[in-house]
Amino acid sequence: MSLEVTNVSGGYGRVPVLHDVTFSVPDGQVVGLIGLNGAGKSTTIKHIIGLLQPQTGTITVDGLTLASDANAYRGSIAYVPETPVLYPELTLREHLELAMMAYGLDQQQAWHKLDRLLAMFRLDNKLDWFPDNFSKGMKQKVMIASAFMTDAQLFIIDEPFTGLDPVAVHDLITLVNEQKARGAAVLMSTHVLATAQEYADGFVLLRDGQVRAQGSLSALRDEFNLPNASLDDIYMAMTQEV
Ligand SMILES: Nc1ncnc2c1ncn2[C@@H]1O[C@H](COP(=O)(O)OP(=O)(O)OP(=O)(O)O)[C@@H](O)[C@H]1O
């Protein structure tokens, strides 16, 4: 079991944003983290990647916790943030080399993987450019390439579909499916429900910092008593509950 979030409450100050959140992402599965603006998706992700500490509860990745071995824990997670984090003074090549160092990757092997990733995202002729000047989608592709050159056990992708062109969305899905096949776990926060329904194996529906429901589409249909409903229908039903 790759990612286990167990009874996590937490947030930014004393008043918790997350309340007793429990879910898991098994190896070889893609789980969609779904919820309205402000439901707590990014806050959940910040707890998993260690930017925030839970007030109560535990988070493990392949049995590791941040407290037991911070380096191994962080090294087992590849994170694609919603807003790309880029340094104005570094070229694309330097960004990638920095990420290789941070993950302790073998440079030759990493560049071998990057040859394909950069060609896929049409960035292969831009290694000496400054990504800070790239378009929004191009910046996102830099973050995706940096994440997918690693052999992480858990991939966390925050709202991947909104800034990418349709070809890039297709390419990202290909990369996610390859990681699934390799046995990695993928947690994906998104508002693009039709795409999530098509590609995720399971879903965690967050509402007001709590897990309202979780499981496969068919489990959610049972839970909401909506046979044949789409993820979009289930989401709308959740938002209309009192
Ligand atoms: N840095 C912060 N300091 C204090 N409160 C915050 C901070 N960031 C988010 N919050 C609060 O935490 C709650 C959950 O926000 P979060 O960003 O996790 O939502 P989200 O589900 O990711 O929303 P969105 O779909 O808009 O990205 C909100 O009430 C928000 O106001």
Helix, strand or coil, per DSSP, at residue 57? strand
Q: Write out pLDDT tens, residues 47-96.
A: 999 999 999 999 999 999 999 999 999 999 999 998 898 999 999 999 99
Task: Look at residue 1 and tell me whether its pLDDT is greater than 70.
Answer: no
Same domain, 176 and 232: yes
Choose the final residue of a domain: 151, 176, 195.
151
Count of Cβ atoms closer than 10 Å to residue 88 Cβ = 8
Q: What is the pLDDT of residue 149?
A: 96
- Which of 15, 21, 33, 41 maximizes ligand 1 atoms within 8 Å of its Cβ, making it the mutation to test the pocket? 41
**Short-list 125, 126, 122, 98, CA closest to 110:** 98
Residue nearest to atom 19 of ligand 1 (CA): 38
Q: Residue 61: CB partners within 8 Å, gap ≥ 6?
A: 2, 3, 48, 73, 76, 77, 153, 154
Residue 207 CA to ligand 1 centre (angstroms):
12
Q: Are 22 and 47 in contact (CB under 8 A)?
A: no
Q: Are 161 and 190 in contact (CB under 8 A)?
A: yes
Q: What is the pTM of this model?
A: 0.94
Same domain, 124 and 147: yes
Torsion sign across C-alpha atoms 180, 182, 186, 192: negative
Token representation of residue 149: 């050159």
Q: Using CA atoms, how far apart are residues 199 and 186, in angstroms rounded to an integer? A: 11
| Mean pLDDT computed over every residue of the chain | 94
Same domain, 172 and 143: no
Task: Look at residue 20 and tell me whether its pLDDT is greater than 90.
Answer: yes
Q: What average pLDDT does this structure show over 220-241?
A: 94
Which burial class, exposed, middle or buried, applies to 176 when counting CB atoms under 10 A from its CB (0-12, 13-18, 19+)? buried
Confidence of residue 162 (pLDDT cuts 50, 70, 90): confident
Choose the final residue of a domain: 132, 151, 170.
151
Same domain, 43 and 122: no
Residue nearest to atom 24 of ligand 1 (CA): 37
Q: What average pLDDT does this structure show over 37-47?
A: 95
Structural domain range at position 123? 85-151
Same domain, 100 and 146: yes
Q: Are 21 and 205 in contact (CB under 8 A)?
A: no
Same domain, 179 and 132: no
* Percentage helix, strand, coil for the chain under 3-state DSSP, each rounded to 5: 40, 20, 35
Q: What average pLDDT does this structure show over 38-45?
A: 95
Residue with the larger pLDDT of the pair 242 and 187: 187
Number of domains composing the chain: 2
Same domain, 70 and 100: no
Choose the final residue of a domain: 151, 171, 196.
151
Same domain, 72 and 158: yes
CATH of the domain at 163: 3.40.50.300
Helices 136-148 and 92-103: angle between axes, nearest 10 degrees: 30
Task: Look at residue 242 and tell me whether its pLDDT is greater than 80.
Answer: no
Q: Write out pLDDT tens, residues 136-158.
A: 999 999 999 999 999 899 999 99
Q: What is the pLDDT of residue 153?
A: 95
Same domain, 116 and 201: no
Residues lining ligand 1, CB < 6 A? 12, 17, 35, 37-43
Residue 129 CA to ligand 1 centre (angstroms):
33
DSSP letter for 131, please: G
Same domain, 181 and 107: no
Q: Amino acid identity of 208?
A: D
Same domain, 115 and 229: no
Same domain, 173 and 230: yes
